[in-house]
Amino acid sequence: MSGLEIERKFLVANDSYKSLATSSAHIKQGYICSERGRTVRVRLRDSKAFLTIKGPSLDGGLSRYEFEKEITPDEAEHLFLLCERGIIDKRRYLVPSGPHMFEVDEFYGDNAGLVVAEVELSSVDETFEKPSFIGKEVTGDRRYYNSQLSQRPYVMWREE
């Protein structure tokens, strides 16, 4: 898959998303490169693996170019050896809301306590239904980018 990714990101206000989720998956991901808004990510999602390249955002974090290719889990494990420090460990819940699907990430390890929801849109001005668990919008706040969380985890800044 490749193309323009448009998404909005929110903090999660309560755990009602768990009972609304249609599925969940364990995700381990690392970054081979995460500089100047460009990232090369390796992800293991349950038994599937992916290599993803993302370009910089030109509109405050709302959209960016993304290229993704499925790889084998064995290839992913080897690529994790090339990753920068700070592997992300999380569980992703898929929660439908109207015609959209929210991806809710519950983080573990040094990012424990952080729960973030994202919704992908087809245009920057597309409207969507906000489920009751949606809290403050953090779209464009770099602290909540997974690539940033791998370098400066939530445990380091959540009390600031």
Q: Which residues are catalytic?
A: 31
Cα 139 from Cα 63, distance rounded (Å): 10
Nearest of 83, 89, 129 to residue 105 by alpha carbon: 89
The tokens describing 87, both together, are 């592997």
The tokens describing 104, both together, are 């809710």
Cα 63 from Cα 95, distance rounded (Å): 21
- Answer for the pair 10, 103: CB distance below 8 angstroms, yes or no: no
